[in-house]
Structure 1
Amino acid sequence: MGNWGGMAVARAAVAELREFAAEAGCAVDRGEELGGGWSAVHYPDQPDGAAAALARRTGAPVFTVAYLDSDVGFVEAATFSGGRWKALLNRRTAEDYGIPLDRFPVEAALAGALDWAAAAGLLTADPDGIRAALTGSEAFAEDLTHRLLGALGLDFTALGEESA
């Protein structure tokens, strides 16, 4: 059985992010420090608008993803200043579920991701890597999430080890 939960990544301590996620309506299962002041929390269910709510609460850019049975990932990211972008991970599989791909244009997501990375102070964002994650296909959407976070410039080594 796959993952039906989600996660949030933000520049905040795990305890803060856990508290903020709870305030945004997310029940947190676990959390881990990712390094560089970034943390991730995982939860069994993600309410809509969690990224924007967390960005307002943390005062920092926030990346969230919700999984559909580990087959598809719905990314939502936001900045404190109101910038937002959405993306769909595992597009080929999403199409099998009947999810309309045109609601998640790759170029708009790429532009939003690069703006988000700049707002987050992530100077090593890789546009080609971001595009590859947004258009790639994997057995598990979580693998594409890790690729996307890495391409955005986040060190997710702890996340990868925890999720393995």
Structure 2
Amino acid sequence: MGNSGGSLTTRAAGELHQLMRAAGFTGIDDTRASVKGWQVTDFADAGPSSLANLVRRLGAPALMVSYVDSDVGLVEALTPDGGSWEGLLNPELAESYEIPVEHFPVEAAVAGALAWSAAAGLTPDEEAVRQALTGSELFAEELSSALLTALGLPEGT
């Protein structure tokens, strides 16, 4: 059985764990810091409004990936001005979990991802974003790392 928690990527100047708990995240694990203030934090669970609550508290863009047994990743991203997008990692395996792939159109996700990246002050690679959202890997976490790099996040995020 694989990972069934999630990971959160954002910029935060203050105590991210405390802000995440206040926003409704549980089982918060270590944070991996990167350059330019970007951080990745693993968590066990998040409520339906946790990401929106956190973005509102931080005033910074954030991207969350919720994993289903490390096979599939459900991506949700928000910006403080209300920009949002959703995507699916490892879509080939999603149907085995009864996840409706048609609810995650690739071109809409790519467009949303590019807008999110620009709002975050990053420089995305459109083709690499599309490849991460349509690709297949043994573990969805591998596609998540590829997506973060494609969005222009600093190496090591």
TM-score when normalising by structure 2: 0.94
Alignment RMSD (CA, Å):
1.2
Matching residue of 1:81: 81
Q: Retained in 2: the 8 A contact 1:56–1:80?
A: yes
Matching residue of 1:162: none
Q: Secondary structure at the match of 2:45?
A: coil
Matching residue of 1:10: 10
Matching residue of 2:132: 133
Evaluate the alpha carbon distance shift between residue 116 and residue 41 of structure 1 in structure 2; reply closer, same or farther with a 3 A threshold: same
Alignment of 1:1-164 (within 5 A): 1-13=1-13, 16-27=15-26, 28-122=28-122, 124-157=123-156, 159=157
Q: Secondary structure at the match of 2:46?
A: coil
Shift of 1:155: 1.8
Q: Which amino acid aligns with 1:108?
A: A
Residue-by-residue CA offset, 1:109-151 (whole Å, 9 max, x unaligned): 11110110010000x2000000000000000000000000000
State, as a whole percentage, how many aligned pairs show the same letter.
Answer: 51
TM-score when normalising by structure 1: 0.91
Instruction: Measure, in 2, the Cα distance between the counterparts of 1:63 and 1:156.
Output: 16
Residue-by-residue CA offset, 1:79-129 (whole Å, 9 max, x unaligned): 00011111111000102222111111111111110110010000x200000
Q: Give the count of matched residue pairs.
A: 156
Q: Secondary structure at the match of 1:36?
A: helix
Q: Which amino acid aligns with 1:99?
A: I
Which stretches of structure 1, 4 residues or more, deviate above 4 A after TM superposition? Answer: none
Instruction: Measure, in 2, the Cα distance between the counterparts of 1:50 and 1:156.
Output: 26
Instruction: Measure, in 1, the Cα distance between the counterparts of 2:135 and 2:15.
Output: 33
